[in-house]
Amino acid sequence: TAAAEHGEEVGRLDARYRDKLTEAEARLREGWEREADRLRGELEDAQAMLHASETEIRELRDAVEAAEAAQDATQAEELARGREDADGRIAEMEGEWRRQQKSLIDECETMRAERDAALAEAEQLRVEVGVGDAVAKEAAAAQRRAQHDATAYHAAVGAAKAEAEALRRELAAQDIEVKRLAGE
């Protein structure tokens, strides 16, 4: 009968909507998890660079103490060259970190646009299907979950930016320490 056929069509539309909504949620979650892993890896790399810089500063401090004890002009010249090298390496590290930070911001903007497109697609599917209150409620819940996941992701990105800023300040402080030691 027409009613049965209409019921079957509604069921097909409902199943299509649910499949697309599940696929959109999976795409969003997979992209955010992959991006979070990549951000963690880049932060670990930056921390390793910072540790290497700290080691270099300790070595420079030891060299300064040795130069002061021996009053050796040659060692003082080597220390000055070491300071210049350290300044150059620190500047390179800061430049690389700024490039990485810009890249992260650009990628976050891209992910935000993709998230908005997926949410818009989910909303369009909900409007097209229009099969009743239960489906509309499920779409709203999925949208809230997607927005919650996006909020958590942006919080993680904000934390990564804050840690990047702290690392940059630490590098600047170490640069000042290197210059002070070399001046002594």
Q: Tell me the per-residue pLDDT of 111-156, one tens digit each, with 9 for 90 and over.
A: 777 777 777 776 776 666 655 556 657 667 777 877 787 787 777 7
Report the share of the chain in percent with pLDDT over 90: 0
Q: Is the pLDDT of residue 38 over 70?
A: yes
Domain span at 44: 2-183
Q: Which amino acid is at 135?
A: V
Measured distance CA(39)–CA(149) in Å, rounded: 16
The string of DSSP codes covering 6-36 is HHHHHHHHHHHHHHHHHHHHHHHHHHHHHHH
**What distances in angstroms separate CA 63 from CA 11, 40, 167, 168, 184, one per listed residue?**
78, 35, 25, 25, 11
DSSP 1: -
Q: Is the pLDDT of residue 161 over 70?
A: yes
How high does pLDDT run on average in the chain?
73
Is the CB of residue 146 less than 8 Å from the CB of residue 122? yes
The total number of structural domains in the chain stands at: 1
Q: Give burial (CB, 10 Å; 0-12/13-18/19+) of 28.
A: buried
DSSP 71: T
Query: Residue 174: what pLDDT?
Result: 74
